[in-house]
């Protein structure tokens, strides 16, 4: 006899990092930004007219789309917004990865991709990274149903030059290639400049990292008008991904303070480079991180043991010791003061 359980879409869920609310914890486990958003966001929320909450928001979040289009110097029809880039990517999977051929994404990468693929029953293959955690671009030249690559990658923090990304896009003109740029503002050039050249390229970014607004949930995609049109059609059919009024207001305000944005990113990058030097002196090896986190392994001590020792000091990082990722820590970049306490705790333990 059939049971309803036989028909469940039974996926292995994504396991997010812990979100303790305790203020004393040094939270270096989910790649958030340690600095607050610009005061423009603070003021926009303070002055937000709550009377407008009785009205539905603009379904396309038109004000935010316009502000993003202005910011990136693209057309409004080339921008799509959603409730965090996770949802934008999920929507893109549902919309564009509709073939029997497997989609491709790297092994190792952001673990949400396989969750969506499983949920939407999209077959996938995972070309391994090379020994330096770099992409092997030729692996993406075979027939496939679509591609998603994060640049920089997570949790490895490795950035691929635009030429590698462009080679992959240009070899795959018959499928959609998504470049997930959650961490691009801490790295090099964005593939956004390629959207006018390739109608199969969708570039996804987020407010959660470089804009210090993980709590507000804004993600967006940029691409050819036809791609964006299809995304909007799927979104409107669902209608569960509509941006709320407060988020639209705050999202627009964030884009109005480029100076603070650049200052804060420089600060995070500066701290990251300093911490790399400290970690190296403590016997860690790590990739050339171009994100707001460092992916590091100690030559002698297990990542899990370091994770636990730090936890006792109320410092939260993430560790990986699976078949896929052997013995690595992922450490988000905090404030200088937080990172000093992190290094102090490491020195005491090692
Ligand atoms: N892509 C990558 C590579 C990420 O690491 C994250 C954050 N966990 C996301 C997308 C999603 O970010 P958000 O939904 O907060 O925009």
Query: Does a cis peptide bond (omega within 30 degrees of 0) precede residue 152?
Result: yes
Which pTM was predicted? 0.96
Residue 214 CA: nearest ligand 1 atom is 15
pLDDT at residue 21, as a whole number? 78
Smallest CA-to-CA distance from 346 within 287, 267, 275 is with: 275
Distance separating alpha carbons of residues 150 and 170, to the nearest angstrom: 17
pLDDT of 195: 98
β-bridge pairing 293-298 and 284-286: antiparallel
Using one digit for the tens of pLDDT, what is the confidence trace for 277-329?
A: 999 999 999 999 999 999 999 999 999 999 999 999 999 999 988 877 889 99
Strand-pair category, 328-332 with 293-298: antiparallel
Expressed in angstroms and rounded, the spacing between residue 350 Cα and the centre of ligand 1 is 32
Distance of CA 124 from the midpoint of ligand 1 (Å): 20
Binding pocket residue ranges, ligand 1, CB within 6 Å: 84-86, 110, 150, 154, 180, 182, 206, 208, 214, 219
- Which of 13, 19, 157, 182 to mutate to test ligand 1, by most ligand atoms within 8 A of the CB atom? 182
Helix (H, G, I), strand (E, B) or coil at 54: helix
Q: Report the alpha-carbon distance of residue 90 to residue 93 in Å, rounded.
A: 5
Residues in a beta bridge with 319: 329
Cβ atoms within 10 Å, residue 258: 10
d(CA 314, CA 345): 10
Of 122, 134, 142, 208, nearest to 165 by C-alpha is 134
Segment 88-108 shows an average pLDDT of: 96
- Report the DSSP beta bridge partners of residue 180: 150, 204
Q: What is the pLDDT of residue 9?
A: 83
Interatomic CA distance for residues 132 and 215, integer angstroms:
33
What is the whole-number distance in angstroms between the Cα of residue 30 and the centre of ligand 1? 9
Q: Look at strands 315-316 and 284-286 and give their pairing.
A: unpaired
pLDDT of residue 18: 84
Q: How far is the CA of 86 from the centre of ligand 1 (A)?
A: 6
Question: Region 33-41: what's the mean pLDDT?
Answer: 98
The DSSP bridge pattern shows strands 79-82 and 26-27 to be: unpaired
Ligand 1: residue of 29, 87, 110, 330 to mutate (most ligand atoms within 8 A of CB) is: 110
What confidence tens digit (pLDDT) does each residue in 181-231 have? 999 999 989 999 999 999 999 999 999 999 999 999 999 999 999 999 999
What's the CA gap between 163 and 78, in Å, rounded? 23
Kindly give the number of the ligand 1 atom that is closest to the alpha carbon of 89: 10
Mean pLDDT of all residues belonging to the chain: 95
The complex scores an ipTM of 0.99
**Rounded to the nearest whole angstrom, what is the distance from the C-alpha of residue 31 to the centroid of ligand 1?**
9
In total, the chain counts a number of residues equal to 350
Atom of ligand 1 nearest to the CA of 208: 15
How far is it, in rounded angstroms, from Cα 330 to Cα 27?
A: 12
* C-alpha torsion 176→181→182→184, nearest 10: 180
pLDDT tens sequence across 132-184: 999 999 999 999 999 999 999 999 999 999 999 999 999 999 999 999 999 99
If pLDDT is split at 50, 70 and 90, which confidence band does 240 have? low
Burial category of 193 from C-beta neighbours within 10 Å (exposed 0-12, middle 13-18, buried 19 and up): middle
Q: How far is the CA of 347 from the centre of ligand 1 (A)?
A: 31
Question: Ligand 1 atom 11: the closest Cα is on which residue?
Answer: 86
pLDDT value of position 2:
84
Query: What's the CA-to-centroid distance between 158 and ligand 1, angstroms?
Result: 15
């Amino acid at each position: 006899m059939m049971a309803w359980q036989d028909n469940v879409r039974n996926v292995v869920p994504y396991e997010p990092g812990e979100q303790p609310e305790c203020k004393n914890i040094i939270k270096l486990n989910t790649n958030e930004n340690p600095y607050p958003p610009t005061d423009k966001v603070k003021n926009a929320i303070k002055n937000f007219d709550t009377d407008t909450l009785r009205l539905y928001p603009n379904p396309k979040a038109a004000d935010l789309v316009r502000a993003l289009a202005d910011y990136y110097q693209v057309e409004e029809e080339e921008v799509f917004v959603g409730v965090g880039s996770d949802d934008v990517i999920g929507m893109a999977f549902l919309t564009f990865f509709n073939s029997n051929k497997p989609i491709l994404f790297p092994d190792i990468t952001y673990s949400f991709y396989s969750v969506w693929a499983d949920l939407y029953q999209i077959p996938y293959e995972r070309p391994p990274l090379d020994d330096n955690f770099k992409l092997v671009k030729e692996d993406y030249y075979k027939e496939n149903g679509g591609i998603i690559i994060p640049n920089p990658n997570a949790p490895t923090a490795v950035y691929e030059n635009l030429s590698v990304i462009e080679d992959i896009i240009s070899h795959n003109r018959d499928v959609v290639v998504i470049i997930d740029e959650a961490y691009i503002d801490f790295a090099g050039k964005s593939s956004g400049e390629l959207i006018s050249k390739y109608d199969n390229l969708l570039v996804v970014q987020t407010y959660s990292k470089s804009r210090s607004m993980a709590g507000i949930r804004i993600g967006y995609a940029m691409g050819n008008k036809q791609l964006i049109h299809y995304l909007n059609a799927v979104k409107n059919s669902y209608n569960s991904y509509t941006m709320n009024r407060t988020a639209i207001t705050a999202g627009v305000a964030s884009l109005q303070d480029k100076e603070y944005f650049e200052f804060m990113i420089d600060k995070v990058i500066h701290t990251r480079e300093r911490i790399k030097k400290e970690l190296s002196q403590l016997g860690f090896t790590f990739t050339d991180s171009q994100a707001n986190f460092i992916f590091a392994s100690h030559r002698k001590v297990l990542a899990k043991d370091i994770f636990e020792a730090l936890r006792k000091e109320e410092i939260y990082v993430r560790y990986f010791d699976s078949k896929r990722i052997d013995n690595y820590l992922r450490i988000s970049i905090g404030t200088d003061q937080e990172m000093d306490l992190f290094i102090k705790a490491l020195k005491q333990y090692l």
